[in-house]
């Protein structure tokens, strides 16, 4: 897609999101004042997700508007890159998924800056471990992630309209669609031998190796496991009676037993998403661990499917280009976020039946908290998946170049019949 159309779609999405974030609450106040001064307009929810939970309510403190501004900037840049890297103006399922991953990654970045803006923080700039742990213990529902999911259709709808009316000549002239098509064709025809040698082969074995390489970080995090629980299927409670739904069993296992995981596990585990855990904790009952194991299996399965698709398309990428390398890392990052979100929706249903959480109120809404945990986890650790996948691609590329050097193609030296 050309630069003009990509910038238009990304700017349109960011502008619509900014209008909702900064003007929704004042508009609700004006409506309530016009109807009745003491009346309040209820929360706007679609498909069980909150549209206004991430809206700006107060401009006085910095933490009241800075996460939203960061979300708009990061979302705009990432979505522009997705549009720019898409082939042609026809909307494709993979490109729409990449848009979802880009907006959710921006939401995760916005949520992760919350601990840095906490006035009660011991340090103004926390370490990476402190950042992750404080983001989890805050247990803020995933308002930013819900907003990202609900506003994704804005850019997709305009994209569909542009593609539907692509034959309208004034629109083609304004967006430069004809120039984009000619430029793509010229760029494709100008591939020299060096670029073609930079491509990977697409054998089943190599795709399987790339898939395994991309899964390594997620599997290691799942084996390490998060040192916290989000449900009340535990034993040796120190607060409340065993099995009491009011027992506070959400945070540190020290609330119930003198249990600490090994230092390495506690430092590097997936603390942002407690459902990503293959090993049971000593204080956890069997039913809660089985439900957690099922959610983790869903996450790894969806991530494997996404990485398999990326591995199939990696052979089409000109790997000598730095932009292509960055694109592979970002696609692995998007895949991690999307897989965690799918697991969060399963978590929101499955854990409610088999391992419900303790407490009550908005902070205990299971789907919102699970979605927030998943997006924060994907934003904080998805880079590891992307880098591992890129490392596998570079290793395959180096192996392919070594094989090509040892077995040079002799077909160019053979004379053509009739010469």
CA separation for the pair 179, 171 (Å, rounded): 12
CA separation for the pair 162, 377 (Å, rounded): 35
How high is the pLDDT of residue 140? 65
CA separation for the pair 106, 113 (Å, rounded): 11
Please check the confidence at residue 360 and state whether its pLDDT lies above 50. Answer: no
* More reliable by pLDDT, 343 or 419: 343
Lowest model confidence (mean pLDDT) among 81-85, 272-276, 375-379, 399-403 = 399-403
What number is the average pLDDT over the span 263-282? 72
CB 41 within 8 A of CB 114: no
What's the number of CA atoms in the CB half-sphere (13 Å) around residue 36?
4
* More reliable by pLDDT, 210 or 315: 210
CB 374 within 8 A of CB 273: yes
R_g over Cα of the chain: 25
What's the number of CA atoms in the CB half-sphere (13 Å) around residue 300?
20
- pLDDT band (50, 70, 90) for residue 409: low
- pLDDT band (50, 70, 90) for residue 38: low
Please give the structure tokens belonging to residue 50: 């909150």
Please check the confidence at residue 246 and state whether its pLDDT lies above 50. Answer: no
Average pLDDT, the chain: 75
Please give the structure tokens belonging to residue 182: 């000619």
Give CA 27 to chain center in angstroms. 31
How high is the pLDDT of residue 29? 67
CA separation for the pair 291, 91 (Å, rounded): 37
CA separation for the pair 104, 330 (Å, rounded): 12
Please check the confidence at residue 163 and state whether its pLDDT lies above 50. Answer: yes
How high is the pLDDT of residue 137? 64
Whole-number percent of the chain with pLDDT over 70: 65
Cβ atoms within 10 A of the Cβ of 149, count? 21
CA separation for the pair 38, 233 (Å, rounded): 43
Residues counted in the chain: 419
CA separation for the pair 285, 293 (Å, rounded): 12
How high is the pLDDT of residue 119? 61
Of 386, 212, 228, the closest CA to residue 300 belongs to 212
Cβ neighbours for 166, distance < 8 A, ≥ 6 positions apart: 89, 172, 177
Please check the confidence at residue 191 and state whether its pLDDT lies above 50. Answer: no
Please check the confidence at residue 251 and state whether its pLDDT lies above 50. Answer: no
- pLDDT band (50, 70, 90) for residue 249: very low
CA angle 331, 104, 206 (to 5 degrees): 20
What number is the average pLDDT over the span 273-280? 80
Helix residue spans in 165-262 (DSSP H): 169-175, 177-189, 193-197, 204-224
* More reliable by pLDDT, 221 or 355: 221
How high is the pLDDT of residue 194? 41
Query: Distances in Å between the alpha carbon of 179 and those of 163, 173, 182?
Result: 15, 9, 5
What number is the average pLDDT over the span 6-26? 87
Q: Report how far apart the first and last C-alpha atoms of the chain are (Å, whole number).
A: 42
Cβ atoms within 10 A of the Cβ of 246, count? 12
Specify the long-range contacts of residues 322-331, CB closer than 8 Å, at least 24 apart.
325/390, 325/394, 327/81, 327/85, 328/386, 328/389, 328/390, 328/393, 329/383, 329/386, 329/387, 329/389, 329/390, 330/78, 330/81, 330/102, 330/386, 331/98, 331/101, 331/386, 331/389
Which strand (E) or helix (H) includes residue 66? helix 66-85
DSSP 8-state code for residue 50: E
* More reliable by pLDDT, 191 or 9: 9
Cα dihedral value 133, 134, 138, 139, nearest 10: -20
Pairing of strands 49-50, 45-46: antiparallel
Give CA 33 to chain center in angstroms. 39
CB 106 within 8 A of CB 321: no
How high is the pLDDT of residue 126? 63
């Amino acid at each position: 897609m050309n630069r003009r159309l990509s910038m238009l779609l990304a700017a349109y999405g960011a502008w619509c999101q900014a209008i909702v974030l900064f003007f929704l609450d004042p508009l609700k106040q004006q409506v309530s004042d016009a109807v009745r001064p003491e009346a309040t307009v209820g929360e706007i929810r679609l498909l069980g997700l909150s549209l206004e939970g991430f809206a700006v309510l107060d401009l006085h403190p910095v933490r009241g508007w800075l996460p939203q501004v960061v979300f708009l900037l990061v979302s705009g840049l990432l979505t522009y890159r997705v549009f720019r890297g898409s082939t042609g103006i026809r909307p494709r399922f993979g490109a729409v998924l990449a848009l979802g991953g880009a907006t959710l990654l921006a939401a995760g970045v916005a949520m992760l800056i919350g601990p840095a803006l906490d006035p009660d923080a011991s340090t103004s700039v926390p370490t990476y471990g402190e950042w992750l742990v404080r983001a989890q213990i805050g247990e803020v529902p995933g308002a930013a992630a819900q907003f990202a999911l609900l506003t994704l259709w804005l850019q997709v709808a305009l994209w569909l309209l542009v593609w539907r009316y692509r034959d309208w000549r004034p629109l083609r002239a304004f967006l430069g669609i004809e120039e984009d098509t000619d430029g793509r064709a010229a760029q494709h025809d100008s591939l020299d031998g060096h670029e073609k040698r930079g491509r990977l082969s697409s054998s089943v074995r190599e795709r399987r190796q790339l898939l395994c390489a991309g899964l390594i970080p997620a599997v290691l995090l799942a084996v390490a496991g998060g040192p916290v629980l989000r449900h009340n299927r535990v034993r040796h409670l120190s607060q409340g009676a065993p099995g009491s739904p009011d027992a506070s069993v959400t945070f540190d296992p020290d609330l119930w037993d003198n249990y600490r995981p090994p230092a390495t596990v506690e430092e590097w585990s997936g603390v942002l998403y407690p459902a990503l855990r293959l090993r049971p904790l000593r204080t956890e009952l069997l039913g809660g661990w089985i439900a957690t194991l099922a959610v983790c299996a869903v996450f790894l399965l969806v991530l494997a499917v996404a990485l398999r698709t990326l591995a199939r398309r990696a052979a089409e990428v000109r790997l000598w280009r730095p932009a292509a390398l960055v694109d592979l890392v970002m696609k692995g990052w998007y895949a991690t976020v999307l897989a965690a979100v799918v697991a969060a929706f399963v978590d929101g249903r499955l854990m409610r039946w088999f391992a419900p959480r303790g407490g009550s109120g908005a902070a205990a809404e299971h789907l919102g908290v699970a979605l927030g945990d998943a997006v924060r986890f994907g934003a904080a650790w998805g880079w590891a998946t992307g880098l591992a996948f890129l490392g596998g691609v570079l290793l395959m590329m180096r192996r392919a170049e070594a094989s090509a050097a040892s077995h040079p193609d002799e077909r160019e030296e053979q004379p053509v019949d009739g010469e």
